[in-house]
Amino acid sequence: MTTTASRRHTETEEPHWVEWATGLISALLVIAMIAWVGWEAVTEENTPPEFSTAVTGRGPVEGGYRVEFEIANKATKTAAAVVVRGEILDGGNAIEDADVTFDYVPAQSKSSGAILFSQDPGSREVRIRAVGYTDP
Amino acid sequence: MSGVTAAQRGGDMGETRRFLIGIGRGAAGAMLFGMPMLMTMELWQLGFYIERYRLFLLLVANIPLLVVLADRIGFERTSTWREAFRDAMIAYGLGIVMSAAVLVLLGDIKPDMPLSEMLGKIAIQSVPASIGALLGRSQLGGQAGDDRGGEQEDKGGDGDAVPNEISTSYSRELFLMGVGALFLNLNVAPTEEIILISYKMTPWHAIAAVIVSIAIMHGFVYAVAFKGTHEMPEETPWWHAFFRFTLPGYMVAMLISLYVLWIFGRLDDTAVTQMLMPVIVLSVPGAVGAAAARLIL
């Protein structure tokens, strides 16, 4: 293994200015990133997940009816295994419900999905809400 | 190993023969480096649900990467870009063939599947496998492997004894760090764990992860003296290398992490602060890969 001895790299003594410029920019970026995360660490309040849902689209599919929706988590904590239930309400009574589970709804982010009903809700109200989650 | 002994026996073995051995090593490299990913469930799934424009971008971006990498460590000692391009294409082709073969062997590709699913699965695996094919050529080569080419090649890989001085130039160094980071990132980025870890970590953990990554990168290359360790001239203070190589290297690792996470659709609809966390998490293996690449390649 004599080759290993010859495979040593020696950095040049007088580096090009570009190397220093890149180093400086990188250093600034790293410091900025650490400062940002650090600032967040200090100021962030740990609010439990808080969901809001909005229907984004609907339409018939084969053998049923699809209601697409978005679920947003405004809080600073991520929720895992979020179960979302969609219900078709007729005069306050749920005549059909269907569940969907999201692996994650990250903090301050949105996830989207769809619920498939067996019937067209028509003019009846569709209620979509999160019914539970676990901490990741 | 039979290939190696055969190579030694045939004193003046023809170009074709040497080339075929190179192909064999490339195939072995594709298997060796690609196997962890070929057996990762998330990558099979990504193969059919990844948005096609992202897959396209990943596949296209792989070409210049392989060409530059081949210029460093090709199947033959390359001197022209044309040869490097040829080697890159061979590696890519090997990556595709080996990925397809292993996926068929594992029963992950079956004849009744839709064509686009098969193609997607093979395509996404071919990227790490093709890098593996090129690395296999250089790393499995061994010291006794190429009788005549060997010595010449080792010097060439090093760059200081050979006319192409540019090979260890600054940009090349950063590029190699990028390849190392990309390789390790492709291994771990598709898994669910990266996302889960980033959710489990507090900002304090993230800061520690950044500092540890940078320390690992610097330590790997300059302090613990693995083979191929870079040396600084005696009188240069340690922080010169730290600013010129380690910090830019870490930035490269972060950029690659961001790119890989985006390709795999892990950052969609996510707040900027939430994007940063998985990038920091993924940069930990990225930093190790980047540092290792500087030593190995």
The string of pLDDT tens digits covering residues B118-141 is 999 999 999 999 999 988 876 655
Chain A residues touching B248 at Cβ < 8 A:
19, 22-23, 25-26
β-strand pairing of A9-10 with B230-231: parallel
Average pLDDT over residues B79-104: 89
- CA separation for the pair B184, B112 (Å, rounded): 33
The CATH number of A51-134 is 2.60.40.10
Q: Do B243 and A24 touch (CB under 8 A)?
A: yes
Q: Residue A18 CA to chain centroid, in angstroms?
A: 38
Q: Is A43 touching B (CB cutoff 8 A)?
A: no
Q: Residue A32 CA to chain centroid, in angstroms?
A: 24
Position B156 confidence tier, pLDDT thresholds 50, 70, 90: very low
Condensed to tens digits (0 to 9), the pLDDT of residues B245-288 reads 899 999 999 999 999 999 998 888 777 778 899 999 999 999 99
Q: Do B276 and A33 touch (CB under 8 A)?
A: yes
For residue A76, which amino acid is it? T
List of residues 6+ apart from B148 with CB closer than 8 A: none
Chain A residues touching B158 at Cβ < 8 A:
6-7, 9
Chain B residues touching A44 at Cβ < 8 A:
203
**pLDDT score of A3 more than 70:** no
Position B232 confidence tier, pLDDT thresholds 50, 70, 90: low
DSSP character at residue B219: I
List of residues 6+ apart from B92 with CB closer than 8 A: B62, B63, B66, B126, B130, B133
Chain A residues touching B204 at Cβ < 8 A:
41
β-strand pairing of A79-90 with A9-10: unpaired
Position B206 confidence tier, pLDDT thresholds 50, 70, 90: very high
The angle subtended at Cα A86 by Cα A85 and Cα A90, nearest 5°, is: 130
The larger pLDDT score, comparing residue B250 to residue A17, is at: B250
- DSSP H or E segment with residue A57: strand A51-61
ipTM here: 0.71
Distance from CA of A78 to the nearest CA of B (A): 7
Q: List all residues of chain B from 87 to 146 with a beta carbon under 8 Å from chain A.
A: 143
The larger pLDDT score, comparing residue B79 to residue B43, is at: B43
**pLDDT score of B207 more than 60:** yes
Condensed to tens digits (0 to 9), the pLDDT of residues A21-79 reads 888 899 999 999 999 888 888 887 788 899 999 999 889 988 889 999 999 998 888 89
Average pLDDT over residues B213-238: 74
- pLDDT at res. B240: 81
List of residues 6+ apart from B259 with CB closer than 8 A: none
Q: Do A107 and B274 touch (CB under 8 A)?
A: yes
**pLDDT score of B63 more than 70:** yes
Query: Which of B169, B175, B199 is the best residue to mutate to test the A interface, defined by the most A CB atoms within 10 Å of its own CB?
Result: B199
Q: List all residues of chain B from 226 to 245 with a beta carbon under 8 Å from chain A.
A: 227-233, 236, 240-241, 243-245
Position B15 confidence tier, pLDDT thresholds 50, 70, 90: confident
Q: Is B210 touching A (CB cutoff 8 A)?
A: yes
Q: Would you tell me how many other CB atoms lie within 10 Å of the CB of residue B12?
A: 7
Is residue B223 within 8 A of residue B291, CB to CB? The reply is no
- pLDDT at res. A136: 82
The domain locations on chain A are: 15-44, 51-134
Give the CA count within 13 Å in the CB-facing half-sphere of B7: 24
Q: Is A111 touching B (CB cutoff 8 A)?
A: yes
For residue B149, which amino acid is it? G
Average pLDDT over residues A115-134: 89
The domain locations on chain B are: 1-164, 169-297
- pLDDT at res. A68: 93
Q: CA B56, B59, B62, B63 torsion: positive or negative? A: negative
**pLDDT score of B92 more than 90:** yes
Nearest to A67, CA basis, from A114, A125, A124, A129:
A114
Nearest to B280, CA basis, from B259, B242, B250, B254:
B254
Query: Which of A76, A109, A110 is the best residue to mutate to test the B interface, defined by the most B CB atoms within 10 Å of its own CB?
Result: A109
